[in-house]
Amino acid sequence: MKNLVLVLCLDLLGGAALAQGQGDARQRGQEVFEANCAQCHRSNGEGLPDIFPALNNNPFVLGDPKPVIAAVLNGLKGNLGAMPGWKDRLDDEQTAAVVTYIRQAWSNRAAAVTAAMAAATRTK
């Protein structure tokens, strides 16, 4: 419960610092991120140590895009606990937008992901 309150506070702080969108696609990705992901991974992409992994400077996020798309669609269960899957809540456009966003926000610089790539991973 204490963690939840902390996360909610951090989320409010992060929301206030919401950067101006740069271009439509990036803006859309950022909106999906703020609505679905920032409560755990935080607006600054740093997560919370030992609770929610940082997405900024994360080699998994910056690597091969397919496992990143699969993790977002199907969820993950690992050392830190579990993340729910988003496949029933995000369509291919939204999935591509948010994965592109986490690969290009903060100090991350990796190639964009297309809706076709999200669709291909979804049907596997």
Cα angle 107, 21, 19 (rounded to 5 degrees) comes to 60
* Per CB under 6 A, 40 contacts ligand HEC: yes
Position 71 contacts ligand HEC (CB under 6 A):
yes
Q: Which stretch binds ligand HEC (CB under 6 A): 16-24, 56-64, 105-113, 115-123?
A: 56-64
Among positions 87-106, residues that touch ligand HEC (CB under 6 A) are 98, 102
Q: How far is CA 83 from the centre of its chain?
A: 11
Q: In one letter, which amino acid is 4?
A: L
Q: Which residues bind ligand HEC (CB under 6 A)?
A: 36-37, 39-41, 52-53, 55, 58, 60-61, 68, 71-72, 76, 78-81, 83, 86, 98, 102
